[in-house]
Structure 1
Amino acid sequence: MKLGEKLAFVVASILFAIFLTNVILGAARFGVVLSDVGEMLALFGACIFFVIAVLGLERRQRESGRTISNQGGDT
């Protein structure tokens, strides 16, 4: 895994952790840190960075010459 994919996974994890922490604090009635828009942006950012990382991994796998089966396994 290259640095770009690792960085994208780390950013996605951090943004999702921020979202999850905010939801847990709100459910426990400790107050919320982010507004509704902030929650949406954190979750959207986590999704975007996760997609970037997965697409980067798929691109590198395709460039290495291995084919990807339709069922998700290596062929």
Structure 2
Amino acid sequence: MAGSLTNNIYMLRAERRWSQKYLAEQIGVSRQTIISLEANRYNPSLILAFRIAEVFGVGIEDVFRYHPQQTKGDE
């Protein structure tokens, strides 16, 4: 059963008026990684997800949401 992962990184970053470059430097990744994360084209490792939440000072569930795929019987 596959699902999807979405995030609030753009919103959290915008609230703090942080640039993509600044956030990338804080968590030790490239700006391209931030771009891919915000576009939901890249799912981070669990360690990276926790680092992102820590930098924002919020819980991981405030940054990331998992959406399970519904099966026909779940409707």
Quick check: which one's strand share is greater?
2
Is this a same-fold pair by TM over 0.5? no
Quick check: which one's helix share is greater?
1
Normalising by structure 1, we get a TM-score of: 0.31
Normalising by structure 2, we get a TM-score of: 0.31
Larger Cα-atom Rg: 1
**RCO (CA 8 Å, sep 6+): is it higher in 1 or 2?**
2
